[in-house]
Structure 1
Amino acid sequence: MKLKITFILALFCIGFSNAQTKVGTVNSEFIISKMPQMKGVLQRVENYGKRLDSSFQIKTTQYKAKVDSFKAEEKLMTEDDKKARIQELRALEQEMGKFRQNGATMMQLQKEENLRPLYKKLSEVIAEVAKENGYTQILTTTGNEFAYIDERFDITQLVLDKLGIKE
Structure 2
Amino acid sequence: MKKLSVLFAAVIMVVSVSMAKAQKFATVDVMGVLNAMPEKKKADADIKTFLDTKQSEIKKKADAGQAKLKQYTDEAPKKTADENKAREAELQKLQEEIGQMQEKAGKDLEAKKDVVFGPIEKKLNDAIEKVAKANGYEFIMDANSPAFVYRAGADATAAVKKELGIN
Change (3 A) 1:143 1:92: farther
Once the two structures are TM-superposed, the CA of residue 134 in structure 1 deviates from its matched residue by 0.5
**Within 1, Cα distance between the matches of 2:81 and 2:133?**
76
1:71 aligns with 2:73: yes
| More divergent stretch after superposition (56-65 vs 17-26) | 17-26
Partner of 1:41: 43
Cα deviation per residue 1:39-94 (whole Å; 9 max; x = unaligned)? 21122112211221232133123313321331343122221221221122122223
- Distance in 1 between residues matched to 2:143 and 2:108, nearest whole Å: 28
Gaps of 5+ in 1: 1-9
Match of 1:146, SS? coil
Q: Deviations over 1:110-132 (max 9, x none)?
A: 23321111110010110010001
2:91 equivalent in structure 1: 89
What SS does the aligned partner of 1:124 have?
helix
Unaligned runs of 5+ in 2: 1-10
Aligned residue type for 1:60: A
Identity %: 29
**1:56 matched to 2:58:** yes
Q: TM-score, normalised by structure 1?
A: 0.78
Name the residue aligned to 2:161: 160
Amino acid paired to 1:128? K
- Aligned equivalents of 2:54, 2:23: Cα separation in 1: 49
Provide the residue aligned with 1:3 in structure 2.
Answer: none
Aligned AA (1:161): K
For residues 51 and 18 of structure 2, what CA distance do their matches in structure 1 show? 55
Q: What's the offset of the Cα at 1:133?
A: 0.5
Q: In 2, Cα distance between the equivalents of 1:161 and 1:46? A: 28
- 1:129 equivalent to 2:131? Answer yes
